[in-house]
Each structure stands twice: as structure tokens, then as C-alpha cells.
Amino acid sequence: MPMSKVSRVMATPWHRHLPSGIEPAAIDLLAERSLPQAWAQRWAEAPDRDLLFMEQQGWLSAGAFDRATRAVAGRLHAAGLRRRDRVILSAAPSVALVKAYVAALRLGLVVVPLNPGYREREVTHVVRDAEPPAAIVDDAERGAWIRRAAGNALILGPDVELPDGNVADLDDLDAGDPALICYTSGTTGSPKGAVLAHGNLLASAQAIRLAWRWSDNDRLVLALPLFHVHGLCVGLHGTLLAGGSAVLQPRFEPDAVLSAVRRQEATLFFGVPTMYHRLARSPRVTELGRLRLCVSGSAPLAPALWERIRRESGQHVVERYGTTETLMNTSNPYDGERRPGSVGMALPGVQVRLDGEVPGEILVAGPNVFSGYWRNAQATADAFDSQGWFRTGDIGRLGADGYLRIEGRVQEVIISGGFNVYPREVEEVLLTHPGVAEVCVVGTPSEEWGETVTAFVVPVDQSPEPEALLAFAAERLAAYKRPRTVRFLNALPRNATGKVVRRELPA
Ligand code: MLC
Ligand code: AMP
């Protein structure tokens, strides 16, 4: 049988992630029913354990966190919020935000994380689609935008300052109950809400806990945003499930990360490749060697960067691969070869295969995979193949040894610093500028960001000032989506059917 046929049907062997002596048949990723139930169990077992640290506030114990989240859940309940009600969460990382998030999940609310860097146009789209009765935000202007889009929404600060209340059935959740709606863009340019159930969150957190040997002795430096699955479903959920602890940082800053590693005796760091690029440039890069484990994801980690970190700190970064809709799919093994340029093999419970020829589209199945987009049957139908496997939109190559390599995308997407930018959305915004006749947005390779956003613009007559065009974009797009470079052309290169031929754009 030719190699391509074998790869196409092969599901990758995830048992290779398990510690020796543990059989796949003995693993039930959903045994604990839901994360809130599992977390509450950990807090009850060791209430005095350190759980969450933030500069200025010091350590919060597991027992105190349990009580605080119970109190916040009581207040949200007293304010009239009930199971399955959506609540927007949009704030910089803080202990208050984490408490509000966990309280909402314990109560059975469905959390809609929203990037606090979004402009009104982006906020309005999400709010109109999700129709949340409440929002927790750390900025009055954003609160006003939400109220404008959802007339009677209750707008709260991260401290959830409301009258106290009691709630009897906390943590009473089943695998199928919705937990999160994460908005993720698509080729249509307008984001759609991926509904993740409690079972998806639990299965994925258990898989990485097992694969990365995450224990209650571990301490994570968590400097990722808490409005994407990387920071939330990998960093925070994993910490709470393992019974470990986390040092929360308000934003990523290499010195602050390395100081936290030293002062708080951290054992884990997770980041996107741009973070590793900045850490590698720090004169303190050797200090990464103190950590038990460093994991990279959300965008490709250049093998040269992987090698540089290994050389200078001794750290063999584990690269893993995920998507919003499936949470974590694959990882390099904890024990075994950590191969630069590869995203490793399927995580416990996850099945990965390729569709069609090799390289082909990466398909994923398993208890980690979401069941659909919020109120969008068409997008949901398009997201799965005829056998119910999720189409990731990533193109990959699967080796006979189970290691997966990502080689491209089915559709245009730019990944800048770990954030996905859909060219279509940026194009649609720029096209509303009166001086723009045509536009094509592409990714330009960048060592630091992976890719940056470049716009090729055909003006109506005279070219608008690039600064004016960028200011126009800044009103309507979050900073990471804005073009870094604008280039003017007389015409876009098009093929016979009128489609823009991106590879023929000037370099
Ligand atoms: C910030 N800027 C960016 C940017 N982040 N521009 C392009 N791409 C980005 N990712 C803007 C800033 O707003 C600022 O604009 C300018 O760039 C310089 O900012 P900075 O101070 O250097 O950036 P910083 O705030 O330090 O942010 C860099 C970063 C951040 C790498 C820390 O981008 C980040 O936290 N990325 C993580 C993204 C993430 O969590 N992704 C997970 C998705 S989940 P101006 O105009 O003010 O100068 C997923 C699934 C999976 O993908 O597998 O995990
Ligand atoms: P999002 O839709 O924001 O969740 O982003 C998911 C996308 O990030 C995936 O479809 C991949 O394209 C990309 N991605 C995540 N991890 C990696 C990785 N380790 N290497 C390459 N791409 C990655």
C-alpha cells in the first residue's frame, strides 16, 4: 500500500503520552463529570494549599478561592442569572477576573470571553450574536458599547459588586452542558461562536495533565491572555485540575516571567512563539533552564528558535497544537523525542487523521471536539466531514511514527503573535474607506511575530495617506489585526476568473 494511503487512515497512537504502567483502557477522561466538580474536590482535599498569586496581592489559598468563587456565584444568582445564561467576560488578567470566570462556570453560566482590545465594531458583532443578559468588563467605554448593542444587559466590574445571595446547586454540571462560547473568525470575515461543553473542557484538561505529568507540585507562570483557549483552557483549567498553582501576570514581559520563575519557584511556562522569541533575546534566557517544562503553541515554533533556546537554557520546549473548536489536539511527548518543527502525536482521547492526499487537511475527533457554532447550523455542518470529524483547516503530514507536521492552511489566515487574523475581515474594513477601490491583505513573514499584516491597496484615484488609512483601521480593528504595512498598487494581480493571485503580489 502506498505511504499516503496508510497515513490517511491512521489514527495516531496517543498511548505514547501516558506514563509507563498506565494502560489506555484504564483512562476515563470524563470520570470527574465536569471541571468545576473536579476543582471543588481538589480544593476540599487541600484547602490550605497556595493556588493563585499576583504581585501586590500575594497568594490566595485553595480554600479561600473556593469561598470567594462560591460568594461571587451567589451574587450572580441573586442578580437573576441562571444556568445556560450567557455572560461576557472581557478584562485584563487579574485574580478578580479568574474568580468571576470560575464562579460563572460553577453556576452553570455560559462564558463568552471577549478580547478587551476589541473596538466597538468587533464588540457589537459578538454581543448581537450572543445576546448576553450580563457582561463583566474592566472598562467603562467597553461597557457602554455592550449596553448599546444589548439594550438591557447587566454590566458589572470584575469584582462583581452585587448584593450577596445563596445558591444550592453549585458545580452540578454534566459533560454535555455548555460552558464557553469562544468567538473565532472564519473566511466570511465575521466571527462565529464555538460552543464548548463541560465535557470538552474536562477531556482536554485531563489529556494535557496526563501527557505533561502535571501534578499538585507544579506552579505555572501564566502570562497569556485569558480570553483565548491557550490561557484559559490550557493554563488555568490545567492548573486547577492538577491541584497545582499559578502565578498570574497582567501582561507578558520577559523579565517579569523570569523573576516569577525564580522568586516563586515556578515549574511550568506556556507561551506563544513570539513570547519565546522575546525570552530568547533576553540576557536572562538561561533562567528558563530552571523550569520542569516549557510548552509552546498557537502558532508554529521555528526550529531555529527551538534550537536556540535549547542551546542557551537546556530547555527542550514541548510544542503542541490546538484549535478553539477542539482545544488541544497533539503534543510532542514528555518522555521521548521532542521534535522541532513537529507538533507531536495525538493527545490522550484524541484521534487525528488526514483527509485526502498527503499532505492533507488535518481532521480531529474525540471528547475534546466541540459540537457546533452558536446559532449557526450552516457553519456547523461545514465544520465536520461526513463521518463527524472536525475539519481543522490546517494542512499536515503525519509520519508513520505518529508525529504530525503542520505545513499550511486550507484557507487564508495570518497568525500574528499567536492571534489569528482573517484577511477577509481586514479587507472588508479597508474597503469601507472612500479612497480604497480594491484591497488584498496578506501575511508577511516576521521572525518576532511569525507573520505581520500587510495590505495591498488599489486607490480610487489618488492614494490616501497611509497614516489616515491606518487611523481608519484603528477605529474599527483590534491592534493585532491592523496592517503594519500598506502598499499601493495600480491593480491587483488576478487570474482568468478574476481571483486575486496572492503569490503574484510584489515581495
Ligand atoms: C500586540 N500587538 C500585536 C500583537 N500583540 N500586533 C500584532 N500581533 C500581535 N499578536 C500590537 C500592540 O497592540 C502594539 O500596538 C504593538 O503590537 C506592540 O505591542 P507589544 O507591547 O510589543 O505587544 P505585547 O502587548 O507585548 O503583545 C505581544 C504578545 C501578545 C505576544 C504578548 O500578542 C499575546 O499575548 N499573544 C498571545 C495570543 C494568544 O494567547 N493566542 C492564543 C489563541 S488560542 P500599538 O498600536 O499599540 O503599537 C489558539 C489555539 C491554540 O490559537 O492552539 O492555542
Ligand atoms: P484558533 O482558531 O485561534 O484557535 O487558532 C487555531 C490555529 O492555530 C490552528 O488551526 C493552527 O493553524 C494554529 N496553531 C495552533 N498551534 C499551532 C502549532 N503548534 N503550530 C502551528 N500552528 C498552530
3-state DSSP assignment of residue 492: coil
Nearest CA to ligand 2 atom 8: 298
Give 380's contacts (C-beta < 8 A, 6+ positions apart): 371, 372, 373
3-state DSSP assignment of residue 164: coil
Nearest CA to ligand 2 atom 15: 298
Ligand 2 pocket, CB under 6 A: 184, 297-300, 319, 321-324, 343, 392-394, 406, 415, 420
What pLDDT score was predicted for residue 2?
33
What totals of helices (H) and strands (E) does the chain contain, helices first? 15, 25
Please give the model's pTM, rounded to 2 decimal places: 0.94
CB 254 within 8 A of CB 205: no
CB 111 within 8 A of CB 101: yes
What pLDDT score was predicted for residue 492?
94
Identify the CA nearest to 330 among candidates 9, 75, 14.
Answer: 14
What is the rounded CA–CA span in Å between residue 267 and residue 295? 11
What pLDDT score was predicted for residue 22?
86
* DSSP symbol at 115: -
Ligand nearest the Cα of residue 116 is 1
What phi, psi does 246 have (nearest 5°)?
Answer: -140, 145
What sign has the CA pseudo-torsion 476, 479, 480, 482? positive
What sign has the CA pseudo-torsion 6, 8, 9, 15? positive
What pLDDT score was predicted for residue 168?
86
Q: Cα torsion for 93, 94, 98, 104, to the nearest 10°?
A: -90
193 grid coordinates: 461562536
Q: For residue 40, which amino acid is it?
A: A
Give 438's contacts (C-beta < 8 A, 6+ positions apart): 431, 457, 458, 491, 492
The answer to whether the bond into 359 is cis (omega within 30° of 0) is yes
- How many CB atoms are closer than 10 A to CB 262? 11
What is the rounded CA–CA span in Å between residue 125 and residue 132? 12
Ligand nearest the Cα of residue 295 is 2
What pLDDT score was predicted for residue 5?
33
Identify the CA nearest to 338 among candidates 298, 394, 274, 294.
Answer: 294
Per-residue pLDDT for the chain (507 aa), expressed as one digit of tens each?
233 333 333 455 788 899 888 888 889 999 999 999 999 999 999 999 999 999 999 999 999 999 999 999 999 999 999 999 999 999 999 999 999 999 999 999 999 999 999 999 999 999 999 999 999 999 999 999 999 999 889 999 999 999 999 998 899 999 999 999 999 976 566 799 999 999 999 999 999 999 999 999 999 999 999 999 999 999 999 999 999 999 999 999 999 999 999 999 999 999 999 999 999 999 999 999 999 999 999 999 999 999 999 999 999 999 999 999 999 999 999 999 999 999 999 999 999 999 987 899 999 999 999 999 999 999 999 999 999 999 999 999 999 889 999 999 888 899 999 999 999 999 999 999 999 999 999 999 999 999 999 999 999 988 888 899 999 999 999 999 999 999 999 999 988 777 888 889 998
Q: State the CATH class of domain 6-20+49-407.
A: alpha beta
Q: Which ligand 2 atom sits closest to the C-alpha of 185?
A: 2
What is the rounded CA–CA span in Å between residue 477 and residue 494? 27
Q: Which ligand 1 atom sits closest to the C-alpha of 323?
A: 50
What pLDDT score was predicted for residue 12?
55
What pLDDT score was predicted for residue 499?
80
Q: Which ligand 1 atom sits closest to the C-alpha of 271?
A: 37
**DSSP letters along 76-90, please?**
HHHTT--TT-EEEEE
CB 170 within 8 A of CB 73: yes
Q: Where in the chain is the domain with CATH 3.30.300.30?
A: 414-504
3-state DSSP assignment of residue 502: helix
Nearest CA to ligand 1 atom 38: 418
**Rounded distance from Cα 479 to ligand 2 centre (Å):** 20
Ligand nearest the Cα of residue 223 is 1
Q: Where in the chain is the domain with CATH 3.40.50.12780?
A: 6-20+49-407
Give the residues across from 351 on adjacent strands.
365
Q: Give the relative orientation of helices 95-107 and 35-45 as an angle to the nearest 10 degrees.
A: 120
Fold of 414-504: GMP Synthetase; Chain A, domain 3 (3.30.300)
500 grid coordinates: 486575486
